[in-house]
């Protein structure tokens, strides 16, 4: 069910991946946004459709979970434990994978328990049989302890839990986007383009860090631009450097500084909240291209991309790529803001 892969870097080094579970429908399409490209007057905009990795588990998290859950199965786990915000895409994807594999799933969600009809990702978590525990958002600093206590309780019941961190952002999960950088390189060669920038949202940072590591390993001459959805660029940079260093230790790769441009100008009201321009951008993209972004990650970061272009930045390239990380189900709880 799981397999490892020997990966050859641009310098000829051969790396061995951890156990990988085949979950995602790969490669995902790299699609040109003709209508929006004309609207903004260039560069040509492209979108990497990682929202299409797979149905209810779709989005960027599935690439990471291939390795996180692969490691869980290698350790003979029968329970997956993870955490996130109340409408976490990562938690929903983990619940879907657990159901597909016949594993238990326990979610620790930051926020108030729902007091009415379930909506968005919470509805899907429940449909797929995940057990949810709610904590106050201020307790997120104690998350490792909370997850550890939950794992201990499940072990006392004779179960074999495996803890996946926020966003599957660790030395296992990063492999998903290290290899996605190789996939992008193949996309660019096939299409005959050489984008100077790949733009992605930054939450926990695993997607951005993995892309940056992969770009270095496979000789991809493209800068990764990380649009923070919640934190300052100083905090993002420090966290990503730490998780990248951990990945390098596990992979046996010589450590080098991440080549990432962090932007924190578009955080807005904070994580999980967005201001009016973001909702306008989501509507604009939906009407121009038939694509739906969410206000937490993709809508906020794509709005930032458009603002950068309007200010004359990111225009020194004929082609520009945006990573669509998914998040469709998280759009519905924000329906009032679209009115």
By annotation, the residues acting in catalysis are 88
Give the span between the Cα atoms of 296 and 208, in whole angstroms. Answer: 16
Structure-block tokens of residue 242: 């730490």
Give the span between the Cα atoms of 80 and 97, in whole angstroms. Answer: 9
CB burial of 88-111 (b: ≥16 within 10 Å; e: otherwise) equals bbbbbbbbbbbbbbebbbbbbbbb
Structure-block tokens of residue 285: 């993209």
**DSSP state, residue 29:** P
Exposed, middle or buried, 117 (CB in 10 Å: 0-12/13-18/19+)?
Answer: exposed
Beta-strand relationship, 44-49 and 319-324: parallel
Question: Which residues are CB-neighbours of 210 under 8 A, at least 6 positions away?
Answer: 64, 173, 174, 175, 176, 177, 178, 180, 181, 247
Give the span between the Cα atoms of 38 and 42, in whole angstroms. Answer: 7
Give the span between the Cα atoms of 323 and 320, in whole angstroms. Answer: 10
């Amino acid at each position: 069910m799981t397999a490892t892969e020997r990966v050859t870097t641009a310098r000829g080094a051969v790396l061995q991946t951890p156990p990988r579970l085949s979950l995602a429908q790969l490669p995902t399409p790299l699609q040109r946004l003709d209508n929006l490209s004309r609207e903004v007057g260039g560069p040509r905009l492209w979108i990497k459709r990682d929202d299409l990795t797979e149905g209810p588990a779709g989005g960027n998290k599935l690439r990471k979970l291939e390795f996180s859950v692969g490691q869980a199965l290698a350790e003979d786990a029968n329970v997956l434990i993870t955490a996130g915000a109340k409408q976490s895409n990562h938690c929903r994807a983990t619940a879907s994978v657990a159901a597909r594999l016949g594993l238990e799933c326990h979610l620790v969600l930051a926020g108030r328990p729902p007091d009415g009809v379930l909506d968005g990702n919470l509805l899907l978590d429940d449909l797929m049989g995940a057990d949810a525990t709610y904590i106050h958002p201020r307790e997120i600093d104690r998350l490792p302890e909370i997850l550890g206590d939950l794992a201990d309780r499940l072990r006392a019941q004779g179960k074999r839990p495996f803890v996946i961190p926020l966003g599957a952002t660790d030395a296992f999960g990063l492999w998903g986007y290290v290899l996605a950088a190789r996939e992008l390189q193949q996309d660019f060669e096939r299409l005959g383009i050489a984008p100077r920038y790949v733009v992605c949202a930054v939450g926990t940072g695993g997607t951005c860090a993995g892309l940056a590591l992969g770009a270095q390993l496979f000789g991809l001459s493209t800068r990764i631009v990380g649009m923070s959805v919640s934190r300052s660029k100083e905090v993002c940079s420090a966290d990503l450097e730490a998780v990248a260093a951990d990945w390098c230790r596990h992979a046996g790769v010589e450590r080098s500084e991440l080549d990432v441009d962090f932007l924190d100008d578009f955080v807005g009201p904070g994580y999980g909240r967005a201001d009016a321009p973001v909702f306008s951008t989501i509507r604009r993209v939906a009407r121009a291209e038939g694509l739906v972004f969410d206000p937490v990650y993709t809508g906020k970061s794509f709005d930032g991309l458009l603002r950068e272009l309007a200010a004359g930045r990111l225009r020194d390239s004929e082609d520009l790529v945006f990573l669509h990380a998914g998040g469709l189900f998280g759009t519905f709880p924000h329906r009032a803001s679209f009115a």
